[in-house]
Structure 1
Amino acid sequence: MTIDQTCQSLEDLGHLNSILSRCSNVNELQHFIHVLDSEKEKTDTAIRTLHNSSYKEESASIRELELKRVELSGTLGNMKSLVSVTTEAHQLGDQITTKVKYLDQEKTKVLQTYEFVNNVQVLKTELANAHLSIQNEDWLKACESINVIRQLPDWVLTSRFVNATVPTSALPDEPKEVLEVWIKDLSQILTKEFDRAASERNPDRITYYFKLFPLVGQQSIGIKSYSSFICNIIHEQSRLNMKTSQGTNTSHAFLILKLFETISNILIQHSNVIKKHYEPRYILDVMQKIQNECDLQCGLIFDTFWDTQRLDRVVNLVREYDYPVLVEALTTSSEDRSNVDRQPIDERISLSNIGDLLNELALILNRWSMYCKFFSSKWNEFKNEGEPGKTEITSLPEALFNSAFMSKIKERINPVFDTLSTFYLRRSLEKAYEIEEFPNITKNLNQSVQLVLTHSVESFVPPSSKPASSLIDDLVFVLNNIYKRAVSTGQSSIINNLINSTRRILETNFLSIVAKELKETHPRYNTQLINFKTILTNTATASRQGTPVPANDDTSFIKSATTALQSLNLNNDESNTARISKYLILLNSISLFDEYLSQLVSNLLNEVETDYLVFLEEGENRINRLNLKVILENLTGKIHGICDASLTQHVRILYTQVFKPRLTKLTVNLFAENEFLLTLEEFDSIDSSNSDGVSTFLQEFTQLTFPYYAIMTQDSYNKLIAMFIDQLSKDLEEKIWSLENKCNELGLIKLERSTSALITSLTKLNYKLRDRFVRVTQIIMVSNLGDDEEIDNLGEMHWVLTPTERLKARNLRVDR
């Protein structure tokens, strides 16, 4: 019996408790005792059986473990023998290692001794050679010997053995002291000889002595001498250029250009000599000295320019100028404005003189920017020698950024340039306003009249340029010049300040003046640019007074119409036509200026992309063209917003005064109430072309709008027609709603055709305007649905009509 079976038997004895609880007499108790004794014997038997079986298993396991212990005892003895062998091997290895280390130490001592002996021999030999060469003034051999001695370890020169054995009767001092004395004396000799060769401009001797300085460990003295030599060349050449330019028309910008050319040539030529005998990093020291000399010469040239042109006096005069013409234009009306005698402007601040000064300053800054590009490129090249990936210019070297001339540019040149540029722009605007002319648009009107009367509007080709004030061309020309000039300087601060000044001047002066003139020339209510009825009447009168005109002679008819048009007297400022003409020209002026300014800035952005100039972020030593682009784009964005708002405002005035009164008359006979209750015979007799009302409307619409299309810019005309279409779509919608119970199925088909033809003709020049008629088209579409068609079956249409309006449109028909 297993342990599990025995445990199960013990658990089964639990039923005896239930038997005991049910015993109620002696017999039952005796029976229970008998059962209990039987169960006890079974349990005892099971336990004995379990004990016997467990004892046998444990005895077998013990015997097996004893056998394994005997086997492990043999293995343990073998392991002890192996440990003993390993210990002996380790001891032998330690002995071998100790002997090898000893041998290595002995070898090192021998090599050190051998090296020391060789160094001592070299030292004695080179000391003797150097001493002999110095006595013979053979400086090259002397420096080469000293260079060999300098390469020896320092402990060799200071060892007691050397100090005891090397000194001779000719050189009794210790080698270290002798070497220091020789280096000091040779440095003085080489410097003196180099300066003599430099004064004689002997390139061979200069190179000869220059390459000796590194041999005696005096690279700094050699670089200092060579830098002085180069700076003297720059100084003398600059002074020679200035002396030669006296009494001539040579500009100071040209002198600075020649200075930079001299520096660049010297740097390119002499850098090879320096790299050959010195480390590349020493060239940076030379470039620092060159930049210091450059600052001196640039400062001298600019100070001469400043004094010659008396710039301080010019700047004061510019700041005192009060722009009387612009003030008068902004404060008085055109009727009150007269030819007032003004004090003549000082010739020193005339536009030509200021323009010359600005060109000169711009050229100076342009040459400086290009020089900075070259200098930075060379600096990075020598600084990152052997690392071609690090030659990109992201900032200026400190030698440039903190240079004296850079400080002068920031503190003196840039403020003067900003002041003169602002004056040049405002004074040019003032001058352009004084000589402003408005073009005669009679030719444009003649052409539009001819095309309308001969029904040849479709053949009209818009002119490349629309009539505008001469002020626009003059102003854009000036802006183009000053911005190109500012960008050419490579100075972000100048461009930024000029943009801010330009925006302020355009807002407060130019656009304010144009807005004021527009206000003064508002077209009178219900006036027209061209009254075709008057022209046709005058044409008929002229024909009756002369020879009868053949029916098909269009040429004579046009001549008569042109004569009638000229009788309108466009030159009379008080005439309605003249007021509208000037108003249209002013609108064109705003629109064209906005367009020209965008083109100008676009061209400037392309110039900013050029890589020959360095544009530093204002106030920081970091090249950043992106920030400059954002500033330029912001200029057009802000001016465009102002121009567009002004244009929209004054086009709306034109629409309200001229077009809106005419629109009511044009739509009187459009879609008459009795026109859309048709019989089948009446529907079949309808011409496939436009109805009489639509044809008349389109003819009068063309007569009304085409002269404006021939004169106005596309942007202005689009705004005008959009306003016209907005109102027309509302009027059409009202007319269609008024047809409730006044049209049948055939009438609605005619209405749909007429409306489609009308919309197509009105929007052929600008297809986007069709969206303004979407309510009208949806009303007609819903009203034309058959009785068995449901609105909900039209798919995912974007409805602009409300459900109530759709239901109303469906019930327009009287026969539904």
Structure 2
Amino acid sequence: MAAYTATNEHELIALVTQIDEDLRSRDSELDAATLNIRRLTRLDNFRANLATLESSQLAFKLGEAAQLGTSISQRVRSRDVEKERLLENHVHVTQTLKLKRDLEAIHRAMDQRSWESAAALVNSCLTEIPSEVIEGGLSRDKVPSGEHPQPPRQQLDEICESLGKLFLREFDKAIQSRDVHELTRYFKLFPLVDRTELGLSTYASFVCSIITEESRKLLQGAPATPPSAFYGLITSRLFENVATIVVQHGKVVDKHYGKGHMLLVIQNIQKEADVQAGIIVDTWFDERRVEKMVEMGDYDDLKHVSDLLAECGMILNRWALYRKFLAGFEGGDKVTEKSMFQQKIDSRVLPVFAELTRAFFQASIQKAVELEVVNEDTHVTSLVEDTMYILKTVLGHIVGTGVESHVSSQLTMLRKVLDSAYISHFQTRIREYAPKQLAGVTAATTQSTLSGLPPSEEKRVKLFCLYINSGGSSCDYVNKIVDHVNLTVYSDKSHVESALSSFSTGVSAKLEDLVAQSVQLLYSNIFSPHLRSLVTVSFRNTVYLASSDDTSSACAYLFNNGWTKLLAGWSDELSFGYDRLVSLMVTSLAKLLEKKIWGLNVNEMGAIALDRDVSKIISHVTSNRYKLRDKFVRVAQLVTLVGLDDEEEEEGIDLLVSTIGYEDDQLPYPSLALFILILEGNPLFPICRLL
């Protein structure tokens, strides 16, 4: 307790010296106690001799040893406790001396206007000296002086308050003079005097003043009649300026204030950014008279509507990119979610953007329909390129908003407009130019091609094909446009990609169905009569009751030549749907050949000629389309069967009877060939030769 009787610094130093001497004395006593312990240990060495002592002497000696051991242990524990207390007192006194010296140094530094030194000493006191020392009785008694009689805690609080106000004044002066060096100098001193929030809020106010000034310059620089996209551009500049400030100044904040403190600055900056962005958008609404136009539905000037849509889309896109940028900072996404400008986007901008998009897209397609140019040389109507360009532009604006729910609803709108204004136009034209059903196709007209049609009908059919091509090319365009949409504004692209995929799938399915139905109509009305006549003419006068010396036939030549002429020019005329047309013709041909073969009289040698003719026909019509050969499986089986002689047929019947258990009189069909066709597809009967 002698430490608390010191009255000045010299006495404190003497007291510390006395404590050190006491510690050394206690160490000597502990050494002596240790020596006694070693002596006790020697007692164990006499255990062998204890057996020679009398029992009374032995009991006496053991009692003495036990008492001595207990006494020594108690003294050792007592010395340890005293040593710990002395060490604590030593640390306490040392920290008190440091506090006294630091406070005196702080006052000297402040008198000398050495703010960096004063702030560093304050930070040392606050971070290196525990509160219990600063507020302890020893500090309250020994630290105050005649010049500064306040307790240490009060002195520190007053110093921090004074320096905080001083730094604030100097920081404001630096703002007025735009002295970057002084700004940085005082900004980094705030956290040293426990004024972190004051420094950050002051710094944020400074940054906000820069944002306000730059935004005001942007708006004041607007001409009397702002050009298109003007407000979109200044919105972009605003968010670019804010993002640049956040990046550059964030490094300074992290360095002097520590990680995580930039969020407070961002929150303050965002409030000002909300105000300035809101002013720009309000000005856009007023100057462009957007809401009045939407309310009245005045969309006659498509150029003006297009400019407004692009400008509004740019505003939304830059806001989305800015939000994505701030989301890179911890807590930054929540700052923009609750911002005033986001509320304005949701309540005012997005609804107008949605209506402008619908009106522009619908009116533009209707205008493209009115201005449609049909050029037979290109095989597609001008409506395709015009509409797909409009779709690409509008889709870019929609996706660029960065709002997933908005994208989904707008894609639904686009699909409805395409169905009602674009695809329906193709349907109308296809019905208008649908080819008439050919009648009276005879042997003389069997090989007539597109050029062989009457002039009026030829023009009609070409226009019909042009709209089929337009539908098919539209399908390709839609898929390509969707595949190349820019999704960089989204952190998670999966939902938007799914919505776009559904959109393209739905539109493509509608167009593909239109193409399929149109090609079917073309086949039924033009090609089917020709094909039936061609098969009839090719097999006319062809006899397959040949001898070994007579197996030649002109059937395949006649048919293949007619097939080539029948399709001549159609691959160019029908750039979309030609493969589908050929597939329909091949399917129909297989059925016609099957029916024709059933009606032929064929002997063994004639079957060879028939097989050769059919093989040539199949090879010709499926050239470069190998998969279409599957259409002729039944034909090939039938050709094989009609060539069987009576003995082979009986063997085949016996095989069937033994395989499936039929008795001779139970065979359901008298003809083996007919029975095989009925059982076609059953894996138990692989007796038919496949292609």
What is the TM-score of this pair, normalised by structure 2?
0.80
Give distance in 1, aligned partners of 2:406 and 2:613: 61
Q: After the TM superposition, which of the residue ranges 803-812 and 266-275 deviates more from structure 2?
A: 803-812
1:112 aligned partner? 88
How many residues get paired? 606
Give distance in 2, aligned partners of 1:614 and 1:89: 87
CA offset digits 1:464-511 (Å, max 9, x no partner): xx6022111211121122223333333333432231111111222222
**Cα 1:300–1:87 shift into 2, 3 Å:** farther
Give runs of aligned pairs for residues 6-155 of structure 1, distance below 5 A.
Answer: 98-151=74-127, 152-155=129-132
- Root mean square deviation of aligned Cα: 3.6
2:515 aligned partner? 647
SS at match of 1:168: coil
2:681 aligned partner? none
Shift, 1:102, TM fit: 2.7
Match of 1:371 among 322, 341, 362: 322
8 Å CA contact 2:447–2:565 kept in 1: the answer is: no
8 Å CA contact 1:439–1:468 kept in 2: the answer is: yes
Shift, 1:399, TM fit: 0.8
Match of 1:755 among 605, 611, 614: 614
Shift, 1:114, TM fit: 1.4
Give distance in 2, aligned partners of 1:793 and 1:413: 84
CA offset digits 1:164-211 (Å, max 9, x no partner): 333222122222222222222322222222222222211222222222
2:489 aligned partner? 614
Give distance in 2, aligned partners of 1:311 and 1:514: 34
8 Å CA contact 2:313–2:398 kept in 1: the answer is: yes
2:529 aligned partner? 661
1:251 aligned partner? 230
Give runs of aligned pairs for residues 44-443 of structure 1, distance below 5 A.
Answer: 98-151=74-127, 152-247=129-224, 249=227, 251-318=230-297, 349-377=300-328, 379-380=329-330, 397-440=333-376
SS at match of 1:234: helix
2:603 aligned partner? 744
Give distance in 1, aligned partners of 2:458 and 2:668: 48
Give distance in 2, aligned partners of 1:163 and 1:202: 42
2:434 aligned partner? 522
Give distance in 2, aligned partners of 1:527 and 1:92: 136
Match of 1:591 among 472, 497, 505: 472
Gaps of 5+ in 2: 1-50, 656-666, 678-691
Shift, 1:649, TM fit: 2.1
Give distance in 2, aligned partners of 1:810 and 1:138: 114
**Cα 1:164–1:710 shift into 2, 3 Å:** closer
Gaps of 5+ in 1: 1-76, 319-345, 384-395, 442-465, 537-560, 570-574, 616-622, 795-801
The letter of the residue matching 1:125 is: R
**Cα 1:417–1:95 shift into 2, 3 Å:** farther
Give distance in 1, aligned partners of 2:320 and 2:554: 72
2:494 aligned partner? 626
1:769 aligned partner? 628
Q: After the TM superposition, which of the residue ranges 695-704 and 583-592 deviates more from structure 2?
A: 695-704
8 Å CA contact 1:372–1:614 kept in 2: the answer is: no
2:588 aligned partner? 727
**Cα 1:502–1:88 shift into 2, 3 Å:** farther
1:470 aligned partner? 382
Give distance in 2, aligned partners of 1:309 and 1:668: 73
1:637 aligned partner? 505
What is the TM-score of this pair, normalised by structure 1?
0.68
**Cα 1:212–1:791 shift into 2, 3 Å:** farther
8 Å CA contact 2:361–2:391 kept in 1: the answer is: yes
1:702 aligned partner? 564
Shift, 1:128, TM fit: 2.1
2:483 aligned partner? 602
The letter of the residue matching 2:303 is: S
SS at match of 1:281: coil
8 Å CA contact 1:783–1:809 kept in 2: the answer is: no
Shift, 1:718, TM fit: 2.3
CA offset digits 1:119-146 (Å, max 9, x no partner): 2222222222223333444333332332
8 Å CA contact 1:584–1:711 kept in 2: the answer is: yes
Shift, 1:707, TM fit: 2.8
**Cα 1:365–1:744 shift into 2, 3 Å:** same
8 Å CA contact 1:528–1:576 kept in 2: the answer is: no
CA offset digits 1:46-102 (Å, max 9, x no partner): xxxxxxxxxxxxxxxxxxxxxxxxxxxxxxx9xxx9xx9999999887666544433
SS at match of 1:677: coil
**Cα 1:221–1:591 shift into 2, 3 Å:** same
Note if 1:579 corresponds to 2:556.
no
**Cα 1:528–1:678 shift into 2, 3 Å:** closer
**Cα 1:101–1:281 shift into 2, 3 Å:** farther
Give distance in 2, aligned partners of 1:350 and 1:91: 113
2:672 aligned partner? 807
**Cα 1:85–1:724 shift into 2, 3 Å:** farther
Give distance in 2, aligned partners of 1:196 and 1:430: 63
Q: Which one has the largest radius of gyration?
A: 1
Shift, 1:229, TM fit: 1.0
SS at match of 1:236: helix
**Cα 1:98–1:354 shift into 2, 3 Å:** farther
Shift, 1:158, TM fit: 2.2
Give distance in 2, aligned partners of 1:415 and 1:670: 68
Give distance in 2, aligned partners of 1:352 and 1:410: 26
Give distance in 2, aligned partners of 1:254 and 1:629: 28
Give distance in 1, aligned partners of 2:518 and 2:61: 114
The letter of the residue matching 2:415 is: R
Shift, 1:520, TM fit: 2.3
**Cα 1:629–1:94 shift into 2, 3 Å:** farther
The letter of the residue matching 2:484 is: N
Shift, 1:302, TM fit: 1.5
SS at match of 2:472: helix
